[in-house]
Amino acid sequence: DMDPVIELARKHNLTIIEDAAEMHGQTYKGKKCGSFGDVSIFSFYPNKLITTGEGGMVVTDDEHIAAKCRKLRNLAFEPEGPRFVHNEMGWNYRMTNVQAAIGVAQLEKIEEHLAIKKRIGNYYNAGLKNLDGFQQPPVSCSYAENVYWVYGLVGESESITNKLKGKLDERGIGTRPFFWSMHEQPVFRKMGLFKNEKYPVAEKLSRNGFYIPSGLGLTRDDQDRVINLMLSFHG
């Protein structure tokens, strides 16, 4: 829910950096996600609705930030002055022309891709409605409709989740876990960012949540195979 975030940022004069990595085509109250932040970031990783193999993009309506991003992604070359003289550190985050062409071609088909994703999501919703012990993703809420970039389920327990994932794996059906909780990431604990903190909801999602196949190339027969195997889990 972005409204409270925006209200808080305005109240305290904060900058909003919007993580829209997985939000291609998603809307919030009719407005495209990725347009709320002072800076917004999208990912073009292979499993995204728009992919260039790797990479991503930063969007902003701030000319200064845009210029800074262009500079830093290009080894921090100065726009003016002698070449190969650097005033700050930069990186080689340049996208190739081939990658860009692939991304532009997919952008032109994003509405078609969104329609396919929604069909896949709705078919899973109908087929798995009687799967006991697992929570399905919400279809919609007061401010958004699910575009089903991925299709995730949350088990009632870690045990039942692992058993179902194991059964799918035995039949060659891949799954992917949800992201691990930040407060439990070893790297952050080593840095002293979290100590003895508990976040039960995040911990349940990271342990019991997983995704089932939902790629654009998935056929109805593919989905039926996944659904039938999952429904037989309690049989």
Q: Does 119 lie in the same domain as 41?
A: no
pLDDT at 1: 84
pLDDT at 15: 95
DSSP 233: G
pLDDT at 204: 97
Q: What is the CATH number of the domain that holds 191?
A: 3.90.1150.10
Q: Does 129 lie in the same domain as 35?
A: no
Instruction: Provide the domain count of the chain.
Output: 2
CB-based contact 165:157 (threshold 8 Å)? no
Q: Does 195 lie in the same domain as 125?
A: yes
pLDDT at 109: 94
CA–CA separation, 138 and 101 (whole Å): 34
Q: Does 131 lie in the same domain as 229?
A: yes
pLDDT at 155: 97
The pLDDT tens digits along the chain (235 residues) read 899 999 999 999 999 999 999 999 999 999 999 999 999 999 999 999 999 999 999 999 999 999 999 999 999 999 888 889 999 999 999 999 999 999 999 999 999 999 999 999 999 999 999 999 999 999 988 889 999 999 999 999 999 999 999 999 999 999 999 999 999 999 999 999 998 899 999 999 999 999 999 999 999 999 999 999 999 986 4
* Sheet of strand 176-177: strand arrangement: 134-135, 151-155, 209-212, 176-177
pLDDT at 26: 93
Range of the domain at 222: 110-234
Q: Does 142 lie in the same domain as 220?
A: yes
Q: Does 89 lie in the same domain as 117?
A: no
Q: Does 123 lie in the same domain as 229?
A: yes
Q: Does 125 lie in the same domain as 95?
A: no
CA–CA separation, 191 and 199 (whole Å): 19
Do the bridges between strand 151-155 and strand 134-135 make them parallel or antiparallel, or are there none, so unpaired?
antiparallel
Q: Does 218 lie in the same domain as 168?
A: yes
Sole residue written with tokens 């808080």? 8
168: left (phi over 0), alpha (psi -120 to 50) or beta: alpha
pLDDT at 185: 96
